[in-house]
């Protein structure tokens, strides 16, 4: 049995409202990177947690704290979500820090199947962030 945790990008989950639905669908269907496990192996999803946000000067320290939400529960493997793979400029540093801190935990980059190229995905995400959005500022300034 493989005990799996998923780490997602909070730009996708917190800012853009992704519920990890594609990661979970392909986990159930054993597609994407979940197809790499032997068919006979049972997969258990232990938990999902989003990255604590871009690291500023603290480097991976924030993530090392947060990832305990998975590592304290005997995960064998942590998958970095597809959004992390495509969007995160820190993923290689994060991978290295996690591998050093948790040598028994395997890190896999990616989750669900890739339906568009990472370049196309980044362009689409950029478009989402650039669209005009009402915020509390508009309410305070009475422009809502």
Between residues 84 and 105, which has the closer beta carbon with respect to ligand SF4? Answer: 84
The reply on whether position 90 binds ligand SF4 by CB under 6 A is yes
Token pair belonging to 76? 């064998």
Min dist CB 141 to ligand SF4, Å, is: 28
Answer yes or no: are the C-beta atoms of 122 and 87 closer than 8 Å: yes
- Could you tell me the two tokens for 123? 């362009």
Q: Minimum distance between the CB of residue 90 and ligand SF4, rounded to whole angstroms?
A: 5
DSSP 72-132: TTT-SEEEEPHHHHHH-TTHHHHHHHHHHH-TTSEEEE--S--SS-HHHHHHHHHHHHHS-
Residue of 5, 6, 11, 48 that binds ligand SF4 (CB under 6 A): 11
CB closer to ligand SF4, 130 vs 143: 130
Instruction: Choose one: 7-15, 41-49, 106-114, 115-123; the region binding ligand SF4 (CB under 6 A).
Output: 7-15
Among 28-36, 81-89, 109-117, 130-138, the segment contacting ligand SF4 (CB under 6 A): 81-89
CB 12 within 8 A of CB 20: no
Q: Which residues bind ligand SF4 (CB under 6 A)?
A: 9-11, 51, 53-55, 84, 87-88, 90
């Amino acid at each position: 049995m493989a005990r799996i945790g998923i780490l997602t990008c909070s730009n996708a989950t917190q800012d853009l409202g992704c519920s990890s639905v594609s990661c979970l669908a392909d986990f159930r269907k054993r597609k994407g990177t979940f197809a790499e496990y032997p068919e006979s192996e049972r997969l258990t999803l232990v938990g999902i947690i989003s990255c604590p946000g871009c690291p500023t000067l603290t480097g991976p320290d924030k993530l090392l704290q947060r990832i305990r939400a998975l590592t304290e529960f005997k995960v064998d493997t942590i998958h970095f979500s597809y959004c992390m793979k495509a969007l995160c400029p820190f993923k290689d540093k994060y991978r290295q820090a996690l591998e050093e801190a948790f040598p028994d935990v395997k890190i896999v980059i990616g989750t669900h199947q890739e339906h568009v190229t990472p370049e196309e995905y980044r362009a689409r995400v950029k478009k989402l962030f650039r669209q005009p959005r009402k915020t509390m500022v508009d309410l305070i300034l009475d422009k809502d």
